[in-house]
Every structure is written in C-alpha cells, then in structure tokens.
Amino acid sequence: MTILLFSCLLFLVSILAGLLGALTGLGGGVVIIPALVLFFDINIRYAMGAALISVIATSSGAAVAYLREGYTNLRIGMFLETGAVVGAFIGAVLVAFVSTRFIAIVFAVILFLSAYLTVRRKHAQQTQVSSHPWAVRLQLTGDYPTTSGMRTYSVQHVPAALVIMTIAGIFSGLLGIGSGALKVLAMDQALRLPYKVATTTSNFIIGITASVSVGIYFFRGYVDPNITFPVVLGVAIGSIGGAKLLSHIKSRSLRIIFSVVICLLGAQMLYKGMTGALS
Amino acid sequence: MTRTELLIGQVMRAGLFLSIFLVLIGGVTYLIQHGGDTINYAVFHGEPMALTSPLGIWQQFFDLSPRGIIQFGILILVMTQILRVALTAVYFIEMRDVIFTVISSAIFVVLIVSFFWRD
C-alpha cells in the first residue's frame, strides 16, 4: 500500500473514531488500535502512540461545545481525575510484577459486565433528591440541559466512584488504554449522574489522563508523524461533529452505542490476553 | 458557566487548530515528496532520536523537515493539555476554592513531571 492511499484510508477511519469517541466519552483509541493493527498491519507500539494522540485530539475537539452547552461538570471531572492519576502511577509500578495477559482478560470481563450494566439502567429521571455528604461538601452537584430546559441533578456514592477511578487509572497504567470506559461507568453507575453529563465529563478528563503517558510514549519512539498525521486530522473533524450531534441524540441510544463500543474494546482485550499479541 | 470555564474550552480548541494547521502543512508536504512510497510499519523500529525529545523536535521544526513539522504540531496539542490544567487551577483560585485549587495544581505538577520523565 502506498503512503498516499494509507493516509487517505486512515483519515476516513479516524473521522469515525473521533465521532464515536466524542459521543461515548471514550476517546478515539478504541477504534484506532484495531484498525491500525488488524487492517493496516501496523506494529502495536505505533498503534498505541497514535491512539494516545487520538484521545487527546478527541478530548480537545469536543470539550468547547460540551462546556458551552453546560453538560461538562468540571468539579466532578477534576476530583475524579486525582483517583485516575494516582491509579496510573500504581499501575506503572505494578507493571513489572504482574502478567499483563491475565490483567487484560480480567479487564475484558469487566468491560462486558459494564456493557450489560449500562444497557440495563433504564431510568432517565433521577429518583433520589438528596446527594452524598461528600458531594455536598465538595459542591459536586450541578445542572444540565434537557429538552425542557436546565435541570439540576444529585450526586450519589462519591467514595465508590473514586475507587472505580483509581482502578481505571491502574488498568490504564498497566495496559496503556481503556480507562475511559471505567470513567463513564464510575459517573453513571456510582455517582448516578445523567448519562450525557457522565460521557461529556469523561471526554473532558481523558485528554489529561492520556497526557500523563505521552512524554514516555514520545521518548520510546511510539509516536510516528506519518501515522499520527491522518489520525489527528480525522479525529479532530469527527469529534467536533460528534459534539454537535450529542444534544440531538437520546440518552438511551447513547447507552447502546457505548455498550457496543466497549464490547469491541472487551474483544480486543480478550484477544490481547489470549494471544499476548498486543503487549 | 463562567468566563474562565469558556476560556478553558477555547484554549483547547485553539491548541487543536494550531496543531491541525502545522500537521496539515507537514503532512501534505510529506505526501508530495513521499506519497508514492510503500508503507512498512509491521516491525517496530522506534523513531530517530531527533523526533523523540522536545528539543530535537524543535530543531527539526526549524530545519523545516516535514516529519519535524508534524511532530511539532503534536507537541503543541500535548502542551495545550498542560496549559488547560493550569487554567483550571486559575479558575478555582478565582472561585476561592482551596480544595479544588490544590487538586488542579497537583494534577498540573504530575503532568509536568511525567512530560519530562524518562524510564
């Protein structure tokens, strides 16, 4: 395949990655890695480098729209990010002592379970009015746009969410990708936030988490300009488009899209665990 | 939403657009020169030293090497992330919120340290 053809095809795939990444709060890596490895026969290290950059581009492309429309909860995002950063550090230390193949299989199981939990939650309206004491103390509650104007929401189980975020950080430190799925889960299942608040707040912070590893990725030579060039352009276009779509999509549809995408991620992890190929 | 909150989003988008601009120039130039070559990335070779460190990328950028220009654009995108966390800290200082100022500043320090960390 010529470089010109490769760049054009990868550009198109990256638009889709940016679109799905911005809508689900997962970033573009979930689509970028299997596309590069399976369809273009690119070495996994280059694919991981490109995926990391795609996550930062997705986060940047969609953030301004989500902040302006009032979906993103900056306080919740930054509070939970501390758990992810600490976890990422623990994961980076642990990586020398544990089998990443075993970890990948455990993570795959967690992802399939997350997909099930995400689809199962049907209640669009929050039933509880009062918030967890920590949420009150840290002023984590907020409001978000609905078809009938701005609506306030409560915030539950803050300690549980912080634990899930730390685990998300450990997994991303160990495996390099995939922490976005657990971030959305922490905010959806533990904090019980409106679904779009969970995905947009995840979108805001995944760029920060990815930036923590980027120095090392550059230094190891994982970031190749020829591969990242079509990825950054495509993902930027896709994520800006995705952010415009969000307010027109029903939360229920978004849950289904999210579940399909994390099942795809789960399949990748299972493949990684079984073959040891993606290490 | 406040002025600073919107500013954070705008800085992120401005960084992305500046990055896209550079990546596009470098990428198109590269394609004109090498578009007909065959890709081969099945085996990992790493990158030349000049494209792995901020200083090396800076020099490649001023040599107007197409790959150096792309890499510089990527570096801009990453540095925008550090800048937006710094702005988030400023936002919480404006709000006189001690806990969140500490949280944002701590994440900022982790980003700076990890950016220069070498294993």
pLDDT in tens, A201-211: 999 999 998 88
Is the pLDDT reported for residue A18 higher than 90?
Answer: yes
B16 in a domain, yes or no?
Answer: yes
- Distance (Å) of CA A158 to CA A126, A137, A198, B106: 16, 11, 14, 20
Q: CA of B52 to nearest chain A CA: how many angstroms apart?
A: 5
Q: Say what the pLDDT of residue B76 is.
A: 94
| pLDDT tens readout for residues B31-62 | 999 988 888 888 888 888 878 888 788 888 88
Contacts of A80 in chain B (CB under 8 A): none
List pLDDT tens digits, range A65-97.
999 899 999 999 999 999 988 888 788 777 777
Q: Partners of A2 in the beta sheet?
A: B38
- Whether residue B41 is contained in a domain is answered as no
Residue A122 confidence class, pLDDT cut points 50, 70, 90: low
| pLDDT value at residue B103 | 94
Contact A2 B27 (CB under 8 A): no
Contact A142, B1 (CB under 8 A): no
Does the pLDDT value for residue B21 go beyond 70?
A: yes
Q: With 70 as the cut, is the pLDDT of residue B95 above it?
A: yes
pLDDT at A277: 62
- Of B21 and A218, the structure prediction assigns the larger pLDDT to B21
Q: What percent of chain A has pLDDT over 70?
A: 95
Average the pLDDT over A108-126 and give the result: 79
> Residues of A with CB below 8 A from B100's CB?
75, 78-79, 138
Looking at residue A128, its pLDDT comes to 63
- Kindly list the domain boundaries of chain A, sorted by start residue: 3-275
Residue A146: phi, psi to the nearest 5?
A: -125, 180
**Which residue of B26, B107, B114 is in closest CB contact with A229?**
B26
Quote the pLDDT of residue A176: 67
Kindly tell me if the per-residue pLDDT of B22 is higher than 50: yes
Instruction: Please answer yes or no on whether A226 and B39 come within 8 Å at the CB atom.
Output: yes
Specify the range with the lowest mean pLDDT, choosing from A112-126, A254-268, B63-77: A112-126
pLDDT of A158 higher than 60: yes
Output the six-digit token pair for B3.
């002025």
Structure tokens at A100: 């990443």
3-class SS of residue B38: strand
pLDDT for A202 equals 94
Task: Confirm whether B60 is domain-assigned.
Answer: yes
Size of interface A-B (CB pairs under 8 A): 180
Nearest to A203 by CA among A37, A80, A36: A80
Close Cβ partners of A224 (under 8 Å, ≥ 6 residues apart): A46, A49, A50, B41, B47
Residue B105 has pLDDT above 50, yes or no: yes
The answer as to whether B37 is a domain residue is: no
Sequence-ordered alpha helix ranges (H) in chain B = 3-34, 54-62, 66-94, 98-116
* Arithmetic mean of pLDDT over chain A: 87
3-state secondary structure of B109: helix
Cβ within 8 Å, pair B8-A67 = yes
- Give chain B's domain count: 1
How would residue A182 be classed by pLDDT, with cut points 50, 70 and 90? confident
In a domain, B9, yes or no: yes
- Domain interval for residue B71: 3-32+54-116
Instruction: Look at the block and give the residue holding tokens 């079984």.
Output: A274
What is the C-alpha to C-alpha distance for residues B92 and A205, in angstroms, rounded to an integer? 16
**Residues present in chain A in total:** 279
**pLDDT for residue A279 is more than 70:** no
Contact A224 B23 (CB under 8 A): no
Q: What string of H, E and C letters represents the secondary structure of chain A?
A: CEHHHHHHHHHHHHHHHHHHHHHHCCCCHHHHHHHHHHHCCCCHHHHHHHHHHHHHHHHHHHHHHHHHHCCCCHHHHHHHHHHHHHHHHHHHHHCCCCCHHHHHHHHHHHHHHHHHHHHHCCCCCCCCCCCCHHHHHCCCCEEEEECCEEEEECCCCHHHHHHHHHHHHHHHHHHCCCHHHHHHHHHHHHCCCCHHHHHHHHHHHHHHHHHHHHHHHHHCCCCCHHHHHHHHHHHHHHHHHHHHHHHHCCHHHHHHHHHHHHHHHHHHHHHHHHHCCCC
Put simply, whether A95 touches B (Cβ < 8 Å) is no
Q: Which 8-state DSSP code applies to residue B63?
A: T
ipTM greater than cut 0.85: yes
Contact B6, A68 (CB under 8 A): yes
A212 CA: distance to closest CA in chain B (Å): 5
Q: What is the pLDDT of residue B80?
A: 94
- Give pLDDT tens digits for A263-277: 988 888 888 788 876
Interface with chain A: mutation pick from B58, B102, B110, highest number of A CBs within 10 Å: B110
Facing A229 at nearest CB: one of B5, B46, B70: B70
- On whether the CB atoms of residues B40 and A3 are closer than 8 A, the answer is no
Which tokens belong to A32? Answer: 């970028």
Q: Is B53 in contact with A218 (Cβ distance < 8 A)?
A: yes
Contact at CB, B20 and A67, closer than 8 angstroms? no
Cβ pair B115:A214 closer than 8 A: yes
Candidate from B6, B51, B53 with C-beta closest to A225: B51
Give domain status of residue B17, yes or no. yes
Measure B68 CA to nearest chain A CA, in Å: 8
Whether the pLDDT of residue B101 is over 90: the answer is yes
Better pLDDT: A265 or A158:
A158
Q: CA of A73: how far to CAs of A67, A83, A247, B14, B100, in Å?
A: 8, 16, 16, 21, 13
